[in-house]
Chains A and B, each alone.
Chain A
Amino acid sequence: MLVFFRDGFYKDLVLLLVVTVMIGAVFSQGVAWAIDTYFGDTLDGMIGEYGEYDLILHIRDEAKEAALRELERIGEQSFPGYRLNQTLTIAGQANFFIGLPEDYRTKEVLESITSYFGAVPGINGYTLMVEPSVLLRGVHPAVRDELKEQLEDLRDVRFVVQDGVNLVVVLTREDAVSGVTAAIEDILQQYQIVELRFPMGFEVDTREVGEKAMAILRSQEGMGGTYRNVTSAEYGEDLDAFLKTLVEMRDFLGSYASQVRIAPAPGVRLMVGEWILLEDDITVEITGVFGDLVEGMIVEGSPVQSTDTVVYQGFRRLAEGEQGEFVGDVEIENERYRLAYAVDESLRLLAELEELSVQASTAVDNADAVLTTFQEALMQLEVLQVQMRQLNEGIATGEAKSSGEQFLVSLLLNGLFQTLAQGVIHSGEESLDSLEHLDIEAMRNSLSGISEQIANVQEIDVTAIMEQIGFVRDTLPNLNDAEIGQSIRLINTYLGGQVIPGERVQLLLEGGRVDEKALEKLFQKELENPYLHTYSTSVGMVSPDARGEIFRILKEVRSIVAGILSIIFTVMVLVLDHATIFSTLKHLLASRKPLRSLWRRLLNPILILGGTLGAFLLTSVYYLSRSQIPYFQWPAVVVLGFVLGVLIVVFAERFSPVDSMELMAAQSLGLSNCEIMREVVIPPSRPGLMVMLNRFKKQF
């Protein structure tokens, strides 16, 4: 094979490779650079040049005209010499870039942006973009002031502005950014926040636990630094609130789900998470096992609607969804149906209430008349009483001899009293005494009170209330158990992945470092809570400012584009140029004896040559064009190049077929391989670099 190159063609090949690599690098980098420049210019047009603007005001799009007038007024009044530029509207939000004159770029102004611009129509917040600056995100409130002081003492730092939980460190000069960034990182290194998280449902006294935890830390050997309990609610409470809401929602849903209780048959063990099949296509998931009491929830199907407890037979659900052994009786109480029933009943009462109130007012009027009659009767009774006493005395002294007369009178008395006040009166005499104590006037007053209240009741819009309650009632049965069950499962899945921060205790460690995971077991043991977890966070994070971030991404894009272009370029060069060489080479070597063994075929010098060429081309172009594709490191580049080269060799004839007749004629005329390539093979092949370079070599 080497003979093929030896008689001069190797020079052409080397020249070709050098030119190819140079052009490839220039091409890939050139295009990438063009993209870079284009986007760079576009960005400058959009967000101004470095340091041109100091803040971005976000304004609702519909209010932007009014906002613009107001901004101009504020600008002229408070910041003469200001710059204003309205740029992109993103997601219904217009963005105004404002540049402050040098005299106004002060800590005082930048920390009171809200007081200047808070009244601008449609304002939706602002972003500081003072340059040069370093942005420190998510600064823990416990160290904020302390950090601010330290940062302001750094060299090249002009001042530090607090912007929510962030600190913007404004610098005196642009080239100090990296130095200050490093210095800030050093300061941050001195702090560590060790966080103990207790799962949902553990209400702990954060102060007390904090003290204990610090005592534990102090008792550890070789642990320098000072500790402070900096537990703060201000920090990351959004997620907490969200998770707590989810838990509330789950519990709310759960209280409306049918209650499922399973009495396991003897010898049956059930586990949380298992599914049980019931009749009527109902599936129940086990949610809790408490000794003999097993609870579950319905995840598929709906039970019979009944206020009574319904009992089903439960069967284990096998992996394929088939019905397994009997596991026990399953009682289902449909809470919603019961509720609906109760609501129904109250609705009926409510409907009667109106009628009742009408009836009641008539009744009160009647009662009044009754009372009058009653009072008269009482007076007559008193007379009767006197008469009877005399009669009694007469009887006792023997003046009245007839026992039949006596019997009649007592009978009469008993009957009368019983109709007036039931069950109170035992003997005529005492009962009459108590009757005398009845305050008829008071009773009359309270009767009039009742009639007033009844009038109030009549004023209430009972119909509207009934409509509302009816609406609630109608929706109740619409919630079906399977849906509730699925929602609960969904929420549980989400919560399962989260450590639900029930309570947290944060300890600030200054001037030391601990391995918080190594301490987890210790804390779990000492604080007697196996569910607590420990985490370590930083008190803040240095992050590139918006512009730096955009340019970093741009640079990355540039390298990726260059990388992709290098690969495309290499493939093109291989297809256009090298495929021709390989198909010729394969053709010329074909008259030799074929290689027998497989490994000789794999180690075929043409394949190896192709792979090497491919690897060389891709690697050189990739390197020279300063390409960088993420996760695509050097070995991968070399391997890809090799594979491409081998593929080109294998499919060489497809990409660039050689005219075997012309080739054979040229051989028969005694041409050297180099002459054959230059005069016969290359000129009619696909136009590429090789054809171009060959122009200068060929004689015909």
Chain B
Amino acid sequence: MLQIQGLRKSYGKLVALDGVDLTVEKGETVVIMGPSGCGKSTLIRCVNRLTEPDEGTILLQGQNVLELGHIELQDLRRKVGFVFQQFNLISRLTVLDNVIFHLVLGGMDRDQAATRGRRVLARVGLANTEDRRPHELSGGQQQRVGIARALVTNPEIMLWDEPTASLDPILVGEVLEVMEELVKTTSTTMVIVTHEVSFALRAAERIVFMDKGQIVEEGRPQEVLANPQSEIACLYRKLLVQ
């Protein structure tokens, strides 16, 4: 599904990605963990070129992402669902419009899109909020709108950039619940950046640990956390034990 090779990216002198190789199989759920600033966001943003990498190749469903023209890139982005840490909703639009406006712009009939939008909203537990504005919702609800927006196109792959990191602990649960349900009920390929170790244990098929722009360890969650090799993995194991 996704093959990344030799990916490098620096911001001036600061090296954010220092030769990353990563392969994700179709339908697989991969959790990426690592300390702040190690390059996780940079990595998954490179996948749909929200960030332009300096070097390397990214193959998504056999397409070389880095060589796409801008029309093809837009097509590709529509097939990739992206969930942001800060939700990144369009504040002037209602909840429903936030979820469906890209469908309508993409040419879908408005009613048809709305029906589909409502269905997705129900699925993330937001059946009665469609006419509200984002700022009228709690953080957890806003993130679920963000998830619905990514989900509404039936993407083949979903990229999650710390979806729960800006939520207070009480609201984290409702978002994780939705995520877990999605992982279990869909066949969508998931690449999730998160610090939620227990979620990784429950839902992920593979954990990838990153440090200083490189992948330092990866494997099945139970195995890696039971017998961590890298410093980073050890730290996350401690987190789990507590």
- A interface residues with partner B (beta carbon < 8 Å): 3, 7, 591-594, 659, 661-662, 664-673, 675, 679-680, 683-684, 699-700
Contact = CB atoms under 8 A, between A and B. Distances in A.
A679 B101 contact: yes
Given A594-B12, A667-B50, A684 B105 contact: no
A684 B48 contact: no
B74 interface: yes
B93 A665 contact: no
Interface in B39-68: 48, 50-52, 54
B51 A591 contact: yes
Contact of B105 (A3, A659, A665, A679): A679
B84 A662 contact: no
Contacts of A594: 12
A591 B101 CA distance: 25
A669 B78 contact: yes
A473 B92 CA distance: 93
A666 B90 contact: yes
The listed residue with most A CB atoms (<10 A of its CB), out of B75, B88, B93, is: B88
Nearest to A594: B12
B90 A668 contact: no
A17 B71 CA distance: 26
B84 to A, nearest CB: 7
A673 B70 CA distance: 10
Interface of B: 12, 48, 50-52, 54, 70-71, 74-78, 80, 82, 84, 86, 88-93, 97, 101-102, 104-106, 149
Given A668-B80, A699-B105, A661 B86 contact: yes
Contacts of A665: 82, 84, 88-90, 149
B65 to A, nearest CB: 13
A673 B105 CA distance: 12
Given A662-B88, A684-B92, A700-B101, A670 B52 contact: no
Nearest to B89: A665
Contacts of A670: 74-78, 102, 106
A292 B27 CA distance: 117
Contacts of A669: 77-78, 82, 102, 149
Contacts of B106: 670
A669 B78 CA distance: 5
A668 B70 contact: no
A577 to B, nearest CB: 18
Contact of B70 (A3, A591, A675): A3
A594 B70 CA distance: 20
A585 to B, nearest CB: 14
A662 B90 CA distance: 6
Contacts of B80: 668
Contact of B82 (A592, A662, A668, A684): A668
A671 B82 contact: no
Contacts of B74: 670-672
A670 B108 CA distance: 14
A667 B12 contact: no
B77 A667 contact: yes
A489 B50 CA distance: 79
B97 A700 contact: yes
The residue among A591, A594, A667, A683 with the most chain B CB atoms within 10 A of its own CB is A667
Contacts of A675: 105
Contact of A671 (B12, B71, B89, B105): B105
B35 to A, nearest CB: 23
Given A661-B88, A669-B82, 18 more contacts: A591-B51, A593-B52, A662-B90, A664-B84, A665-B82, A665-B84, A666-B102, A668-B48, A668-B50, A668-B82, A668-B84, A669-B77, A669-B102, A670-B78, A671-B74, A671-B102, A679-B101, A700-B101
A406 to B, nearest CB: 150
Contact of B90 (A3, A7, A592, A680): A680
Tell me which of A673, A679, A700 has the highest count of chain B C-beta atoms within 10 A of its own C-beta.
A700
Contacts of B149: 665, 669
A683 B91 CA distance: 11
A65 B132 CA distance: 77
Most B Cβ at <10 Å: residue of A661, A673, A684 = A661
Nearest to B92: A684
30 contacts: A3-B70, A7-B70, A7-B71, A591-B51, A659-B91, A661-B86, A661-B88, A662-B91, A665-B88, A665-B149, A666-B90, A666-B102, A668-B82, A668-B84, A669-B78, A669-B102, A670-B74, A670-B78, A670-B102, A670-B106, A671-B74, A671-B105, A673-B70, A675-B105, A679-B101, A679-B105, A683-B92, A684-B92, A700-B93, A700-B101
A661 B84 contact: yes
A659 to B, nearest CB: 8
A682 to B, nearest CB: 11
Contacts of B52: 591-593
Nearest to B76: A670
Contacts of A679: 90, 101, 105
Contacts of B86: 661
A659 B86 CA distance: 12
Nearest to B54: A593
A47 to B, nearest CB: 57
A684 B12 CA distance: 32
B77 A664 contact: no
B74 to A, nearest CB: 4
Contacts of B93: 700
B50 A591 contact: yes
**Nearest 6 interchain pairs by C-beta:** A670-B77, A670-B78, A665-B88, A668-B82, A669-B102, A661-B88
A1 to B, nearest CB: 12
A670 B102 CA distance: 8
Nearest to A668: B82
A378 B104 CA distance: 157
A591 B88 CA distance: 18
A590 B84 CA distance: 19
Contacts of A700: 93, 97, 101, 104
A684 B88 contact: no
A425 B108 CA distance: 158
A662 B84 CA distance: 11
A700 B54 CA distance: 36
A592 B104 CA distance: 30
